[in-house]
Amino acid sequence: MSDKPFPIPDDVASIEPTDLYDRLDDGETVGVLDTRTPDDVDDWRIDGEGVAFANVPYYEFLDGVPESALEELPAARPLYTVCAKGLSSKFVADVLDEAGVDDVVAVEDGMEGWEQVLASNELSADTDATVVQFYRPSSGCLSYLVVNDGEALVVDPLHAFADEYVAAAEAHGAELVAALDTHVHADHVSGVRTLATEYGVRAVVPNAADARGIEYDIAYDTLADGETVALGDISVEAVHAPGHTSGMTAYLVDDAVVLTGDGLFVESVARPDLEDGAEGAPAAAGQLYDTLQERILTLPDETLVAPGHVSDGAEQADDGSFTDTLGGIAAAMPALDRDRESFVEFVLADMPPRPENYGDIIATNLGQRALDDDTAAELERGPNNCAATTDAMTGR
Compute the distance between CA of residue 251 and CA of residue 311 in angstroms, rounded to an integer. 21
Q: Using alpha carbons, select from 216, 182, 218 the residue that is nearest to residue 197.
A: 218
Task: Assess contact for 239 and 250: CB atoms under 8 A.
Answer: yes
- Backbone dihedral region for residue 86 (phi beyond 0: left; psi -120 to 50: alpha; all else: beta): left
Task: Assess contact for 184 and 209: CB atoms under 8 A.
Answer: yes
Task: Assess contact for 154 and 259: CB atoms under 8 A.
Answer: no
Compute the distance between CA of residue 130 and CA of residue 132 in angstroms, rounded to an integer. 7
Query: 152 forms bridges with which residues in the sheet?
Result: 147, 176
Q: Using alpha carbons, select from 253, 260, 254, 314 the residue that is nearest to residue 291.
A: 260
Q: What is 274-296 written as a DSSP string? A: TTTHHHHHHHHHHHHHHHIIIII
Question: Is 141 marked active-site?
Answer: no
Q: Using alpha carbons, select from 82, 73, 60 the residue that is nearest to residue 101.
A: 73
Q: Give me the amino acid identity at 81.
A: T
Q: Give me the amino acid identity at 85.
A: K
When computed from its CA atoms, the radius of gyration of the chain, rounded to whole angstroms, is: 22
> Residue 66 CB: number of other CB atoms within 10 A?
12
DSSP 91: H
Q: Using alpha carbons, select from 161, 166, 190 the residue that is nearest to residue 178.
A: 166
From the list 33, 41, 46, 83, the catalytic residue is: 83
Residue 17 to residues 106, 161, 165, Cα–Cα distance (Å): 10, 16, 19
Active site residues: 83
